[in-house]
Amino acid sequence: MNTANVYTEALVCGIQATLWIFISVVHIVGVDHVVPILNNLKEWDILLTIVVLLFCYPLGIIVDRLADVLFTFLPPDKVLSSIKYIERKCKSGLKDEREAFITKIERRFDFLKYLNSRIRLMRSTALNVFICTVMVIFLINSPNISFKILSKGSLSLWIGIAGLLLHIGSVITYAILQITYDVRFDQAKKALAA
């Protein structure tokens, strides 16, 4: 995997984490104090964007490592045990779908690198979506904020449901990718041994 891909993955994870950190700051400081500060910083938007992106890269690495540690306690086969079709499809090696274009050993390893990259992104996304959902619900329920259309409780409920669905989808996607990676890795080892 080249350096640009790794940098991009860390940047995406960091941008996601920056969102929930910003929401946390808004919740702690208060919307009334943050909005005037942001209005005063409009002239510095280019410089601030560069600074935020520089902050996002190391934050993305930290979130990736944290997600890696947290997901060691979440075996992919347990996540998918209730989804029999997907589990059967993954354990069969997906021969009917991908075997046609993964015929050479080099291509198998390229595919493994690709899968590993997607696994890291989905792990971090699952963690970031969960934290962001919690922080948005806290922000909605802060005393300074009021809504005219929905009550705080119903808005919190809808955001909680949407966040939970995104989180579950990210975890299931992670599990599918991890099982596929394991199957493909075993196939590549067998191909090398032959």
pLDDT tens per residue, range 121-149: 888 888 888 998 998 898 888 887 777 77
192 and 105 in contact (C-beta within 8 Å)? yes
pLDDT band (50, 70, 90) for residue 101: very low
Tell which residue, 167, 186, 187, 169, has the closest CA to residue 83.
169
pLDDT above 70: residue 186:
yes
Q: pLDDT of 31-49, one tens digit each?
A: 888 888 888 888 888 888 8
What's the pLDDT band for 57 if we cut at 50, 70, 90?
confident
Mean pLDDT across the stretch 52-64? 86
Neighbours of 177 (CB within 10 A): 22
Rg (CA), the chain: 21
CA distance 44 to 121: 30
In the block, residue with structure tokens 């990736």: 64
The pLDDT of 143-158, averaged and rounded, is: 80
CA neighbor of 182 nearest in space, from 100, 67, 90: 90
Residue with tokens 């809504």: 147
Q: Average the pLDDT over 157-175 and give the result.
A: 88
| Mean confidence (pLDDT) of the chain | 79
- The set of residues, in sequence order, having a beta carbon less than 8 Å from that of 9 and lying 6+ positions away, is 60, 64, 117, 120, 121
